[in-house]
A and B are shown apart, each in its own frame.
Chain A
Amino acid sequence: MSAVLNPDLYAGDFRRLENSLPGRDAPWLGRLRRDALAWFLDRGLPGPRDEAWKYTDVKPLAKHGLRPAPTPEGAGTLGEASLRPHLMGDAYRLVFIDGRLDAALSEVGQTPRGVTVSALAPALDERPDALEGVLGRHAAPDANGFAALNTALFADGAYVRIGRGVELDRPIHLVYLSTGAGGEDGTTAHVRNVIVAESGSRAVLIESYGAGGEAAAYASNVITEVVVEDNAQLEHYKLQREAERAFHVAGLHIHQGRDSRYTGHNVAIGSRLARNDLHAVLDAEGAQCHLNGLNLTHGRQHVDNHLVVDHRRPHGTSRQWYKGVLDGRSRTVFSGRVVVAPDAQHTDAEQRNNNLLLSEHAEADSRPQLEIYADDVKCSHGATVGQLDDDALFYLRSRAIDAELARNLLVYAFASDILERMGLRPVHDQLQEQITGRLLGARSLEEVL
């Protein structure tokens, strides 16, 4: 336990909220929560000696405390204006404010037969059996202190189930907004999502994270469990644009069946400190897992992506393509690990992490790792950290293009292949706008694009 954490506070939070937390009538969940709490009270947050947290100092998070809102009603409310910048066209939409469903801002309407798009809390209250065996199965509560605290205290999140063979007609959009209400550091939304794509189904899922105002301080502590059953396909976007004083910690646990395909697009633009733990298990033959990532950081932002892809069966394919553009004194960490089990012959795995430093004070740490226990595999990895190419810059300027626009064009060009892989047009366009908006002289770039 870190010195700054006081176990009594969390035990008190749990006692106070326990009876209002969803699923209190399901004994299995009660046990899960109490065990997770006990683990957290014993072990606390990870420390600097923990190899997986070597490059990310958790002290600011420990200092923040990650305390939930003191009452079941939550901390604050937001209006439609706060939602608008996140809207993504026609979608089945759930909106959570400070981690709790806002029914007025949500718009799900009629879903096709066999499809559930709902908040997790009522699902746990009404039919907890449907979630037993999924919730807590893929995300181990004892993975780390954040996962444990989330398991003990989560109040809501999304429950999505795409029935067998259904090709969903519209994307599902999950929007998480924080108000920053509830004290100087705001409160913490402990969000839990359960996503199941049943066999043969196809769906697109978008998660957007943001705040009511840029000055808001708060934390998001999210655990998402994703099951992609045999022959199912899920395209999953995560757009993290938290306020720049906020913390964002997320665990994403993916379990894949035979010939399933999971494509993830993980974009981090906001927050002062963000940590993503992504763990994909390719647990049957022929599973494909494509993980794209893009970080745009400036100021003193810190973004840590920690990825593990577990190839357990033969003929699996995985790609990790992560890029970062770093300005100011920002810092990013990419730790990508591919594990190929003895049984996972004919695995095809590739990891690439490329970083562009726009400032001499920015720092990118890259640790691609392969752990191969099978002998007939194709695995490669590579990492680069570089600056803008002076030759390319001069080439553009010699064509009458001013230095600022030339730099922006090159930055945009660096990030563009990650963007181009995003098949969903509204996401692509919104991000393009975000990126050009983040770059200086964005106006001139828009004229060209």
Chain B
Amino acid sequence: MLNIKNLHASVDGAEILRGIDLEIGAGEVHAIMGPNGSGKSTLANVIAGRDGYEITAGEVRYDGHDLSSLSPEERAREGLFLAFQYPVEIPGVSNVYLLKAAVNALRKHRGEPELDAMDFLALVKDKMKLVEMKEELIYRAVNEGFSGGEKKRNEILQMAVLEPRLAILDETDSGLDIDALKIVADGVNSLRSPERSFIVVTHYQRLLNYIVPDYVHVLANGRIVKSGGRELAQELEERGYAWLEPGAGAAQANTGGASS
């Protein structure tokens, strides 16, 4: 579904990603872990198409199509979804407007008629149960005055309503207490299916206790320095990232052997 080859990307002229190779098949859940500044969020934003994130070499293909030629909204219409690390507050635009505009943009793209107000509300209320969100929140301005947990749940609600084929969760666990983390994870798990893939970007192993990945990749200094199964996350929890950090030079080359 997603093929990333030798991806180099810069932000404001500074190279952050230095040759990423990654393949994600339908229905798979991949965790991307790594220390702060390793390029995890940059990778998420490059895939989503954020302005200012420039691909300098390599490519990202989604269903065989080069993603770099698509605008962020076109990517979303093709089934890509980014759950933001820091969901944006938009005073004056209500949650329900945003969801309606988004749903209808997707439906229009697929040649389907727009949902009427009743069907749309029924859909949203149904999905809100997934993330145990209070109904009043959908009538409030997007994320305005929401707690950290409410913002992250709102991201998952949007994901549930938009039903993407590839969802990228960018540090969705950051700032969540354990109860909120479970709710968010349950919401994500209920959306797992053989057709839907996930990239779960996280700094901590904790989230992966609840969203169990098929593959774990460790990003350091803009490269994937190690890939493995779900047990790799546990190992990182115990040993930290230092043993994988480049700059330890020789360590980077040797760790694979040392840890296996």
Contact = CB atoms under 8 A, between A and B. Distances in A.
Interface of A: 389-392, 394-403, 405-406, 409-410, 412-417, 447-449
Interface stretch (B100-108, B184-192, B202-210, B242-250): B100-108
A400 B76 contact: yes
Given A399-B76, A401-B101, 6 more contacts: A394-B51, A399-B102, A405-B101, A413-B92, A447-B101, A447-B114
A390 B51 contact: yes
B92 A414 contact: yes
A409 B158 CA distance: 18
B88 to A, nearest CB: 4
Given A395-B87, A448-B97, A449-B97, A400 B102 contact: yes
Nearest to A447: B104
Give the one of B82, B84, B88 with max A CB within 10 A: B88
29 contacts: A389-B88, A392-B88, A392-B90, A394-B50, A396-B101, A398-B50, A398-B73, A398-B75, A398-B81, A398-B82, A399-B158, A400-B76, A400-B77, A400-B102, A400-B106, A401-B102, A402-B73, A406-B73, A410-B93, A412-B92, A413-B91, A414-B92, A415-B92, A416-B92, A417-B91, A417-B92, A447-B114, A448-B97, A448-B100
Interface string B135-146: 000000100000
Contacts of B102: 399-401
Interface in B141-177: 141, 158, 162
Contact of B90 (A395, A447, A448): A395
Contacts of B82: 398
| Main secondary structure on A side of the interface with B | helix
Contact of B73 (A391, A392, A400): A400
B71 A403 contact: yes
Contacts of A389: 88
Contacts of B97: 409, 448-449
A6 B233 CA distance: 86
Contacts of B92: 412-417
A413 B93 contact: yes
Given A390-B51, A413-B93, A417-B91, A401 B100 contact: no
A397 B76 contact: yes
Contacts of A415: 92
A400 B84 contact: no
Contacts of A417: 91-92
B76 A398 contact: yes
Interface string B39-79: 00000000011110000000000000000000111011100
Contact of B84 (A395, A397, A414, A416): A395
B129 interface: no
Contacts of A394: 50-51, 72
Contacts of B141: 413
Contacts of A406: 73
Nearest to B81: A398
B80 to A, nearest CB: 8
A390 B12 CA distance: 15
B95 to A, nearest CB: 11
A390 B90 CA distance: 12
Contacts of B73: 397-398, 400-403, 406
Given A400-B77, A401-B101, A401-B102, A409 B50 contact: no
A210 to B, nearest CB: 27
Nearest to A413: B92
B48 to A, nearest CB: 5
A80 to B, nearest CB: 35
B178 interface: no
A448 B101 contact: yes
Contacts of B158: 399
Contacts of B105: 399-402
B72 A397 contact: yes
A400 B91 contact: no
A390 B48 CA distance: 14
Contacts of A410: 90, 93
B43 to A, nearest CB: 15
A416 B94 CA distance: 11
A398 B74 CA distance: 9
B111 to A, nearest CB: 14
A415 B105 CA distance: 24
Contact of A391 (B48, B88, B101): B88
B154 to A, nearest CB: 11
A395 B88 contact: yes
